A and B are shown apart, each in its own frame.
Chain A
Amino acid sequence: MKKWTNKLTGGIMVGTTALSVVIIIAIIVVMFVVIIIGGKEQISWKFLTSFPEDGMTKGGIFPAIFGTALMVLLMSVAAVPFGTITAIYLTEYAHENSFLSKCIRFAVKTLAMVPSIIFGLFGLGFFIKFVGDGMDHAFLGGHLKWGQPNILWASLTMALLTLPVVIVSVEEAIHTVPGSLREASLALGATKWQTIRKVVLPGARSGILTGTILAVSRGAGEVAPILFTGAAYYLATLPHSVSDQFMSLGYHIYIMSTQSTNVDQTLPIQFATTLVLLMLTFILNFTAVIIRARLRRTPK
């Protein structure tokens, strides 16, 4: 009797887990198929390299691609060195259980959990209203230049959002550098900093790269942090300096599906833009996965 119920429970469990797997895969497949079918007609070299036309109902998305690329570049320049330095401090200098290192770890975890719109509001309040306005008053006699949304503030806001990703990846990579190599370096009379610079960081290179890629792929898709801090509805020209606004892929999708003059007419463009963004993040994530797998394979 017991055997029979055991078998039944087992069967139900296997069925449920299998069903969950199927549902998850189905969602991804359906999403991809719908987006590819909807966007494939629109995707062309011209679409990728030209400006929007006719109130964004025609033309391409080049400024959005350019803006996204420039934004993630500026973001990486800010987030990667800062995140790497933090990771070095946490792994090499701070004592595992010291109050300060616990505080930093808690802060990093919290930062990773904060909803992205909060980062947007913070960017608006801190970078634009506080830093930007302050700079205008201090250097430009109140002339409005930095106290408004631009690509610099947007990138810095995004850097805050992606900082935890960088810190965690670099920390993980530094942990894979064997302690025996640190010992070898120190035993040769190297200082701690020489050891970090010449042995630990080169060993963690691929981890730093992985962190950068993950941060870029996260930053490329986020809209909320740049909503108030620099993304523009439409611009006739590309940004000329970091104090200009910019167009971005994610924001472009959002405005075309909610703010467009003719939502139905822009539908193919929406699909195509989504496809571009999806492929971009997919490729970036895939690259990160490959690098990470190779990193794990290197013998300790």
Chain B
Amino acid sequence: MKEAKIKIRNVSFYYGTKLALNTVSLDIYANQVTAFIGPSGCGKSTFLRTLNRMNDLIPNVKITGEIIIDDVNIYDRQIDVVNLRKKIGMVFQKSNPFAKSIYENVAYGPKINGIHNKKVLEEIVETSLKRAAIWDEVKDRLHDSALGLSGGQQQRLCIARTLAVNPEIILMDEPASALDPISTSKIEELIFQLKELYTIIIVTHNMQQAARVSEMTAFFYIGELIEYGKTKKIFTNPEKKQTEDYITGRFG
């Protein structure tokens, strides 16, 4: 197997004194989709947010262990969090476009990176929207408000906005949980295409979704990583009883 893109070593995470993640270790590989599954409150979203240091924004949290991305520990003192987040994009559970035009939403990231050339920006916006499979739906109304789009379109716009920064890794926190089945299948199709170019990590409540889109699956339960392996194996022949109980729907 190829070299891991992200190496997580003994990561524990605390909200105040409450332990939310207990010594989690796993490797995530490039150009694959890795799914995190588990019941609500199992720590999978918390874990996802440690990967781009979004949890830094919450007061009174503590993290121990190492997260090494491309041979660099992202919790090292010298790490510039702003640059880290440019490399690791994130798509949230609830679509959160800015109250700006479709164009401005996608151009936001490049602009804060100092790109102001109109032609370059237009190109980035077009490429990103095409990659997010929403270009055909919005190309005639790029300068209309993004808030006028449907929920599914907004989520794909948010994906386009993330792609515009040209990240290497994309974190998705239940990106389709608020969407209807048609929009969900569009997002899944999109994830399938995007893994050619990006390393994708997706948190999901939807077991079928994890089975459909991912190569690797990690099952979390109450802050512990119970089982991690090839999605096929996890879903057909899990090693641990807890995993089997969860995926067969006996709890959670």
B contacts with A, residue count (CB < 8 A): 24
Q: Is A183 within 8 A of B109, CB to CB?
A: no
Contact B82 A183 (CB under 8 A): no
Q: Is B15 an interface residue (CB 8 A)?
A: no
**B44 surroundings in chain A (CB, below 8 A):** none
A189-B85, A190-B112 known; 10 other A-B pairs, CB under 8 Å?
A183-B90, A184-B161, A185-B108, A186-B54, A187-B52, A187-B162, A188-B89, A188-B162, A194-B112, A198-B112
CB-based contact B96/A189 at 8 Å: no
**Which residues of B sit under 8 angstroms from A189, Cβ to Cβ?**
82-83, 85-86, 109, 112-113, 165
Complex Cα spacing A186 to B88, Å: 11
- C-alpha spacing A189/B109, complex, angstroms: 7
In the complex, are the beta carbons of B92 and A198 less than 8 A apart?
no
A-contact bits for B74-115, CB 8 A (1 contact / 0 none): 000000001101100110101011110000000011001100
A109–B165 Cα distance when bound, in Å, is 43
Question: How far is it, in angstroms, between the C-alpha of A261 and the C-alpha of B85 when the chains are bound?
Answer: 73
Decide yes or no: A188 and B96 within 8 Å by CB, A95-B59, A198-B108, A198-B112 being known contacts.
Answer: no
* Residue numbers in B under 8 Å from A194 (CB-CB): 112
B:163-185 near A, CB below 8 Å: 165
Interface flags, A169-196, vs B, CB<8A=1, else 0: 0000000001011011111111100100
Contact with A202, one of B86, B90, B99 (Cβ below 8 angstroms): B99
Contact residues of B with A, CB < 8 Å? 52, 54, 57, 59, 82-83, 85-86, 89-90, 92, 94, 96-99, 108-109, 112-113, 158, 161-162, 165
Mark contacts of A153-181 with chain B using CB atoms, 8 A cut-off: 1 yes-contact digit, 0 otherwise: 00000000000000000000000001011
Q: Is the interface of A mostly helix, strand, loop or mixed?
A: helix
Which residues from B are CB-within-8-Å of A199?
98
Give the complex CA separation of A180 and B92 in angstroms: 8
Neighbouring B residues of A186 by C-beta, 8 Å:
54, 57, 85
User: Taking the complex as formed, is A132 at the interface, i.e. its CB lies under 8 A from any CB of chain B?
Assistant: no
A205 to chain B, nearest CB (A): 10
Q: Which residues of B contact A184 (CB under 8 A)?
A: 92, 96-98, 158, 161
Closest to A180 in B: B96
Chain A residues at the B interface, C-beta cutoff of 8 Å? 95, 178, 180-181, 183-191, 194, 198-199, 202-203
The one of B59, B90, B94 in contact with A187, judged by C-beta atoms closer than 8 angstroms, is B90
Q: Which residues of A contact B98 (CB under 8 A)?
A: 181, 184-185, 199
Q: Given the complex of chains A and B, what is the CA–CA distance between A199 and B146 in angstroms?
A: 14
B34 CB, nearest partner CB in chain A, Å: 18
Partner of A178, one of B96, B108, B158, B165: B96
| 4 tightest Cβ-Cβ pairs between the two chains A and B | A189-B86, A187-B90, A180-B96, A188-B109
B96 touches A183 (CB 8 A): yes
Residue of B nearest to A187 (CB): B90
B147 to chain A, nearest CB (A): 8
A190 touching B82 by the CB < 8 A rule? Answer: yes
22 contacts between A and B (CB under 8 A): A95-B59, A180-B94, A180-B96, A181-B96, A181-B99, A183-B54, A184-B96, A184-B161, A185-B108, A186-B54, A186-B57, A188-B86, A188-B109, A188-B161, A188-B162, A189-B83, A189-B165, A190-B108, A191-B82, A194-B112, A199-B98, A202-B99
- Whether B92 lies near A188 (C-beta < 8 A) is no
**Smallest CB–CB gap between B177 and chain A, Å?**
14
B81 CB to closest chain A CB (Å) equals 9
Task: Report A-chain residues with C-beta under 8 Å of the C-beta of B86.
Answer: 188-189
Contact residues in B for A190 (Cβ distance below 8 Å) = 82, 108-109, 112
Residues of chain A lying within 8 A (CB to CB) of residue B82: 189-191
Q: Are B92 and A183 in contact (CB under 8 A)?
A: yes
Using CB atoms, name the residue of chain B closest to A184. Answer: B96
Contacts of A178 in B (CB 8 A): 96
Compute how far the CA of A135 lies from the CA of B158 in the bound complex, rounded to whole angstroms: 55
Q: Chain B's nearest CB lies how many Å from the CB of A99?
A: 15
CA distance A188 to B166 in the complex (A): 10
Is A188's CB under 8 angstroms from B108's CB? yes
